[in-house]
Copies of this chain bind each other. A is one copy, B any other.
Amino acid sequence: MPPPHSASIRLQQYLHTTRLLRSIHSALYYDQNTGMPAAGAPWRGEQLALLATQLHERQSCATYADLVEDAAAELAPHAPAAKQRNLQLLRLELQRQRSLDPQLVAALALAQARGNAIWQQARQANDFQAFAPALEELIRLRRAQASQWASAEPVARSPWELLAQPYEPDVSKARLQELFAPLKHEIPPLLERAAAVPAMATAATDLPEAVQDRLCGELLDSWGYDHRRCQRARSAHPFSCTVGPDDFRITTRVVNGQPFSAFLATAHEWGHSLYEQGLARSESQDFPWPLGEATSMGVHESQSLFWECRVARSQAFADQWYPRFSAGPGRDPWGDGHRFWRALNPMRPGLIRVEADELSYCLHIVLRFELELALVEQGMPVADLPHEWNQRMDALLGLQPTTVSEGCLQDIHWAEGLIGYFPSYALGHLISAQLTEAMAGAIGPIEPLIAAGETRTLQAWLQTHVWPLGRTVNGEELVEQVSGDTLGARPFLNHLNGKVEQLLNRT
């Protein structure tokens, strides 16, 4: 008989296998969106459902529960904080998993698949009525989920707050309202001010696919892309995906008439990937433990937005890349680096969230956050959604969609029952701005570093101060630990103000 392992070691082995299964799911997801032929979809759906069932079973069964409790019992009262925190997080997730009625889990999975399919058609047909019953059902099931989760939660939270916990641990409505209020107040006048910046037509500046592809490759090479550990491919929607501790993938797409779309998406997705690569897990015992995971979706987004908005859309960066974008006969519709930079920063409001620039983006999120609260907690009927959407869109951005496809049917999130996720996108902007201030305070202004091609210095700072924190903290605690200040909207608004002024002054 081999010597019995400690409960902690047995738990680690169990978590390792769970992580293997989760990463198989990631590998299939990556293939689904890059290599898989279209007709493979139904079978792939069955494969993914099988893995999801196995994962749910693994993470809620009695064997696992016993293992977690044994490891907790084994823990000395003065064990290192990291060990205690790991077990605390595992217990919380276990309680959440076990609080759910398996019938609800199955019903949700079905409603999500159904919601996605109906949304695809309804969006194409511009038909909100066709989608409304599916959304009603999803909201009903997610409310039921929140109420089952409530029993597992150590503190009192509202239904919406419970649904948002997996994406943004410890988030509260009141805190989000506090953070978003200055955005609602200050961004609309800033948008008016930015209207004076002359528009740059982008369609006339389209770039051949092969050129865009080469530029994306050059960008990645200059930002430390390691061909041994990374892979990039094309997909309909850009994403970043970790398939193993040394296997990182990103995807982008080339959009007709949008010469910067693939380039900026590459910067964005690579930001996500750098964060994943920097988590404290590959070479340490943390790999299968919660502390080896991303702090929150808001922090994840802050890293992608840092590389997209603070670096790739900066003037220093534009000055550097303008010659590469404009090399070749007939390929310089911008005329100079400043106009090229302006083209990278249109600062114009639009109807579509995923096409929004950093100035109006957060208002799209505020709109969705408030509508989620209305739908989930304030009894707003689903039937009112199109009208409410248009009213609020007008109030926030001065625009009204003429179709539901450009309005409340534009995003996939609700169609898959994803409620509580949107605010993380806006938090990403706020966190990115505040971390950038902290970084500048420590190593000096970042634009001169970008101008000198020293992006590795920026990476090194993030690798030291941000990436390895993982789930030792939540998103707000991370900001406080790194910047010394409570998270706020001010750094982000300062950045936006500065940028609009810079664009106006140099026009």
Contacts and interface: CB of A to CB of B under 8 A. Distances in A.
Contact of A37 (B21, B34, B228): B228
Interface residues of A, number: 37
Interface in A190-244: 226-231, 233, 243-244
B40 A21 contact: no
A20 B47 contact: yes
Contact of A244 (B27, B43, B246): B43
Contacts of A230: 37
Contact of A35 (B34, B44, B226): B34
Given A31-B30, A35-B31, A47-B23, A229 B17 contact: no
Contacts of A47: 20, 23-24, 27, 244
Nearest to A25: B24
A17 B50 contact: yes
Contact of A44 (B34, B42, B44, B247): B247
Chain A contact residues: over half helix, strand or loop, or mixed? helix
Nearest to A51: B24
Contact of A31 (B31, B43, B226, B228): B31
Given A24-B24, A31-B27, A31-B30, A227 B37 contact: yes
Contact of A24 (B28, B37, B246): B28
A228 B30 contact: no
Contacts of A50: 17, 20-21, 24
Interface string A246-270: 1111000000000000000000000
A269 to B, nearest CB: 15
Interface of A: 17, 20-21, 23-24, 27-28, 30-31, 34-40, 42-44, 46-47, 50-51, 226-231, 233, 243-249
A20 B50 CA distance: 8
Given A17-B50, A20-B50, A47-B20, A246 B27 contact: no
A27 B30 CA distance: 11
A34 B36 CA distance: 12
A229 B39 contact: yes
7 contacts: A27-B27, A27-B31, A37-B230, A37-B248, A39-B226, A39-B247, A40-B246
Contact of A229 (B27, B28, B40, B227): B40
A40 B36 CA distance: 20
B243 A36 contact: yes
Shortest Cβ-Cβ A-B pairs, 8 listed: A40-B247, A43-B244, A39-B246, A39-B229, A39-B228, A38-B228, A37-B231, A40-B244
A247 B43 contact: yes
B244 A44 contact: yes
A36 B233 CA distance: 11
